């Protein structure tokens, strides 16, 4: 079994097919469930994408009979634009011929490819969440912390963030006969831009498990803010909540403590069903846990 560029690329494409795999708590933001505005400019010149944006609010008005519609209800339809800049992301490693021989060629190669895909997924997620932190303008509904002890979680509309790609995740392998090793290099080129800043709300919370005071109330406030901003939902009528393990634990604890006094006559079995049914969807959100959220510093 030879380690050629072609066979490596085939294996790698299997790992990242459809960008659906979940590695190291990476959620892979390019998923169209999270980002409705995605653009692929592979094969074109330039490294920027200008996304046209219609004005958020267009107001009509009552018009008297025989009166000018334009005078009574003039609206500005002229679009603005947001620019997505494409950035290269990469990860690589060297593997000796002895490692391939002793560990088993197929086993070692597949392990390397898996880790390469993890690295690209993490780099992509980190960039997307950093753009959210820098650009969303919704009022923080969490603790409002501003240091590394806090995590910035997010509740967003699928219209908040735009994504552009120019190079699909690609791996190349080079053989170094002098050092008797194989060089694996994985790259991708993509970028993000918040195109609707009001369609994203941060929810800061303490990052140590068991210390977060935030709960579904904080999430519900964020959802209410998005609804007030007329932010579109997913096809299922939900917003997307990205939370760290500490906030996930706080929400799960809150749901698990729901009793008959709070929600009618609910048995222990019913209580458990409520927990398992709502930790995925609750308060108007679909929840996704990730370790790649930025801290609040």
pLDDT in tens, the chain (297 residues): 344 444 444 444 444 443 334 445 566 677 877 888 999 999 899 999 998 887 756 677 888 888 888 777 777 677 788 999 999 999 998 888 888 888 887 888 788 888 888 888 889 999 999 999 999 999 999 988 888 999 999 999 999 999 999 998 888 888 899 999 989 899 999 999 999 999 999 999 998 888 877 778 899 999 999 999 999 998 888 899 998 889 888 887 776 655 444 444 444 444 444 344 344 566 788 888 888 899 998
CATH of 5-289, one of 2.60.40.10, 3.40.50.1370, 3.90.1300.10, 3.30.2400.10: 3.30.2400.10
Cα(105)–Cα(51) distance, rounded to whole angstroms?
Answer: 45
First to last CA, the chain: 49
Cα(287)–Cα(222) distance, rounded to whole angstroms?
Answer: 13
Cα(212)–Cα(85) distance, rounded to whole angstroms?
Answer: 35
Element (H, E) at 282: strand 281-282
Cα(294)–Cα(191) distance, rounded to whole angstroms?
Answer: 17
DSSP 295: B
> Domain coordinates of the chain in residue numbers?
5-289
Question: pLDDT tens digits for 163-206?
Answer: 999 998 888 888 899 999 989 899 999 999 999 999 999 999 99
* Secondary structure class of 26 (helix, strand, coil): coil
């Amino acid at each position: 079994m030879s380690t050629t560029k072609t066979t490596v690329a085939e294996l790698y494409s299997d790992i990242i097919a459809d960008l659906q795999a979940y590695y190291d708590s990476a959620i892979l933001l390019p998923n169209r469930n999270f980002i409705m505005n995605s653009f692929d400019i592979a094969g074109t010149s330039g490294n920027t994408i200008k996304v046209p944006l219609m004005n958020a609010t267009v107001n009509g008005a009552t018009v008297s009979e025989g009166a000018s519609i334009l005078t009574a209800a003039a609206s500005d339809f002229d679009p603005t634009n947001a620019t997505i800049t494409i950035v290269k992301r990469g990860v690589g490693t060297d593997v000796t011929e002895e490692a391939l021989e002793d560990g088993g060629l197929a086993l070692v190669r597949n392990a390397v490819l898996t880790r390469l895909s993890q690295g690209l997924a993490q780099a992509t997620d980190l960039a997307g969440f950093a753009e959210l932190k820098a650009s969303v303008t919704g009022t923080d509904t969490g603790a409002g912390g501003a240091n590394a002890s806090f995590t910035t979680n997010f509740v967003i509309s699928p219209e908040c963030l735009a994504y552009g790609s120019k190079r699909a995740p690609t791996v190349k392998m080079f053989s170094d006969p002098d050092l008797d090793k194989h060089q694996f290099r994985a790259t991708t080129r993509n970028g993000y831009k918040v195109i609707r800043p009001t369609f994203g709300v941060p929810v800061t919370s303490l990052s140590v498990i068991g210390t977060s005071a935030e709960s579904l109330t904080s999430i519900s406030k964020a959802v209410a803010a998005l609804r007030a901003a007329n932010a579109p939902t997913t096809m299922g009528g939900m917003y997307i909540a990205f939370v760290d393990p500490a906030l996930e634990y706080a929400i799960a604890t809150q749901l698990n403590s729901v009793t008959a006094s709070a929600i009618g006559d609910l048995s222990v079995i019913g209580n458990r069903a409520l927990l398992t049914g709502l930790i995925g969807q609750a308060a108007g959100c679909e929840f996704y846990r990730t370790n790649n959220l930025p801290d609040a510093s």
